[in-house]
Chain A
Amino acid sequence: MNRPTGRRITAAALTVIAVATGTTACSSGGSTSAKDEGSSTYTIWDPYPQFAKDSAWAKLLDGCGTKAGVKVKRTAFDTSDLTNKALLAAQQNNSPDVLIVDNPVVSTLAEAGVLTTTDDTKLDTSTVDPNLLAAGQSGGKTYGTPIGANTLALYYNKDVLKKAGVDVASVKDWKSLTAALAKVKKAGKKGITFSAIGTEEGSFQFLPWFWGSGAKLTELDSAQGVSALKLWTDWLKKDYAPNSVINNTQTTSWQEFASGDYAFAENGTWQLANAEKAGFDYGVLPIPAAGGGNAAAPTGGEFVTMPVQGDTGRYATTQKLVSCLTSTDNLYATDTTLSYVAPTAAVQDKQVASDAKLKPWVEAVKAAKGRTSDDLGTKYPKISEQMWKAVQTALSGAKSPKDALASAQAAAK
């Protein structure tokens, strides 16, 4: 046996394998997804992984593609993944043609220079409610158009309130709400549940109370802001709200309410379908402000945006795609499946006409406010992180509401 020859062959074979591995590894570095399929395929990223390939949403996207004369390739991500995925894609010059993102993310992506303005792409946003559109505006420019909106309100359990002898019409401000909670507790039931988890969700749920006190996000530790946090802290102290709210997501909070023991729950439009299934009579109440009237709740829901492309010639087709997605008929269909309130008056009327239960939600959305509005833009995430920390600190008893918000304000600056 000629051993050296045998080894040389092995060596050559291994070198070939090594080189092959090397080249494939290198070539896969730059272009992974978006532009490989040529110019007639348009990519869409959305945060709706719950919609499968055969869902109405996926069909709508395909339909809009056909109308614009192109093929559509859709990828669905988890909402929390989408920001970083979009940033990474932009870094690799690989952004999708259409990106549908949660509204407070728009200003972050705009700040990163990832998004085109509606002036550049000639996207018409004139019919959209200005308070909803504001979440996608910064520095006087608009970076997308909302596909739908949702917001928070108070769900209440009619049976529990009846047993406790509470007339829901009497709940008009914080004082009467707290009094109602006291009555419910006396009747042996549980008061209210919400989500105060240490993420953006916690800030989202605290905002109606914060804004309802008259406080402003630029000054977390104002007397009004402290009064809002004190309201929540007192509810926990008096056992009107369970201690578990500190770790509740909006979903776990809803599960508590669905158990039928709770009188009130702060939750969103998207729970409407679940409320029907809950097996008890429920009602919806706008969140009251401190001194009466409705508090402004934060708007949720996504924006349709058009990321910057190397080839600006693509914008015209993309604009057609987006206009198709946000046309009146399609908005109506999409917002019905998402259980969202539409962003334009025309579609809102249509929604209320077909389902009267949506009326309080349409009202709430009209009174709602974007988290990044007031030109806060990318300042909002910093403030929000400090705010949810302060809420957690006060609710867990580590600090008083005043001290918690004071250190939050110092850190948010």
Chain B
Amino acid sequence: MKQTTHPPDPRLLDRAGAATAAPPPVRTASRRRRRPRSRQWAAWAFLAPVTLYLALFYAYPLYRNLDLSLRNYTVRSFVQGDAPFTGLANYRKVFDDPTFGPALTHTVVFTAVCLLFQYAIGLALAVFFNQNFKLSATLRALFLVPWLLPLIVSASTWSWMLNSDSGVVNSLLGAIGIGPVNWLTSPEWSLTSVIIANIWIGVPFNLVVLYSGLQSIPTSLYEAAALDGASAWRRFWSITFPLLRPVSAITLLLGLVYTLKVFDIIWIMTKGGPADSSTTFATWSYRLGFGNLLPAFGPGAAVGNLLVVAALVFGLVYLRVQRKQALS
């Protein structure tokens, strides 16, 4: 409800179905007694489908994943359903695993670098397209292509382009005299390669959201600044950037959640290898659970839960920051 200037007519609200206003005093006593009951029923009825949906498709899988991670599942006990409860043993196993350290570093580096570049490039492009020059709409549409392509297509294309022997990137580099780089097959480069591909895929999302954020900044501010003689650079840092802050925050948070769980690109391009050099928590969790002939469901679920917790922590940080902003 954004109407704050004049109080809304309660009858109007009532007809609209919003059960917020107090009943008008003209109602008879008998009606007043019956109304809360039927209201409650209606409220429950409205709630029931969404509650059921949430419980079945969100709460239960989450609970199952937690349960999986706390039991010692072998293939036999998975089928018989009698896996013994082992507390945090799976988590301990995961923490002690030699893959844990590298996977953590890679996840942090992957997420941070991707977010930084996606946001910076997305913002630069958004400001650029905000000039509304000829063809800007067409060009902007072209920038959306990475977003529209199925991930398997873009990831496969990247892995062809970055192929050590027959990839187009290496043949271009060769033409200007730079020796072949083993983009996907050397431990030094594999993480960089998947980061590059993921930045390319993430830029359109940042572009679209930031562009729409820019549209909501009133042009009168820029006109006033121009009259005061502010340079373009100054206008960006003093008007655009601060006014874009709420939009930036949500873009970065969504980007963070998306990037933390990126799996397809890495799996298609490098399978997390060679030698774990591009393994993140997402690919590691998959490999534990499904990448082997003998699935390790428990540790796989444990790694997956760590990812969920990480995303949740950042979500809470975002909520807190937002509340502070709203209060100030």
Contacts and interface: CB of A to CB of B under 8 A. Distances in A.
Given A112-B79, A244-B185, A397-B186, A197 B271 contact: yes
Nearest to A10: B42
Interface residues of A, number: 54
B75 A112 contact: yes
Contacts of B44: 11, 15
B292 A113 contact: no
Contacts of A12: 45
B294 A108 contact: yes
Nearest to A308: B79
Contact of A199 (B38, B52, B186, B271): B271
A13 B46 CA distance: 10
Given A104-B293, A393-B274, A395-B274, A111 B76 contact: yes
A25 B57 CA distance: 10
A18 B48 contact: yes
B52 A243 contact: no
A4 B34 contact: yes
A66 B328 CA distance: 77
Contacts of A105: 293
A17 B159 CA distance: 48
Interface string B145-172: 0000000000000010001111000000
Interface string A378-406: 10111011000100110111110000000
Contacts of A381: 292-294
B295 A3 contact: no
A198 interface: yes
Nearest to B187: A398
A398 B102 CA distance: 14
A384 B49 CA distance: 47
A242 B290 CA distance: 29
A86 to B, nearest CB: 9
B293 A411 contact: no
Contacts of B276: 389
A398 B275 contact: yes
Interface string A200-236: 1000000000000000000000000000000000000
B38 A112 contact: no
B178 to A, nearest CB: 16
Contacts of B165: 242-244, 256
A408 B314 CA distance: 36
Contacts of A199: 271, 291
B285 to A, nearest CB: 14
A21 B186 contact: no
Listed residue (B34, B45, B163, B186) with the most chain A CB atoms within 10 angstroms of its CB: B45
A198 B190 CA distance: 13
B224 to A, nearest CB: 51
Contacts of B80: 113
Contact of B274 (A10, A378, A396, A411): A396
Interface in A45-84: 80, 83-84
Contacts of B98: 411
B309 interface: no
A14 B46 CA distance: 7
A152 B231 CA distance: 69
B78 interface: yes
Contact of B48 (A15, A109, A242, A395): A15
B10 interface: no
Interface of B: 14-15, 31, 34-35, 38-39, 41-42, 44-46, 48-49, 52-53, 56, 74-76, 78-81, 98, 159, 163-166, 180, 182, 184-187, 270-277, 290-295
21 contacts: A4-B31, A4-B38, A13-B45, A15-B44, A15-B45, A91-B81, A108-B75, A109-B75, A111-B76, A112-B78, A199-B291, A200-B293, A243-B165, A244-B165, A244-B166, A247-B271, A247-B273, A381-B293, A392-B275, A396-B186, A397-B187
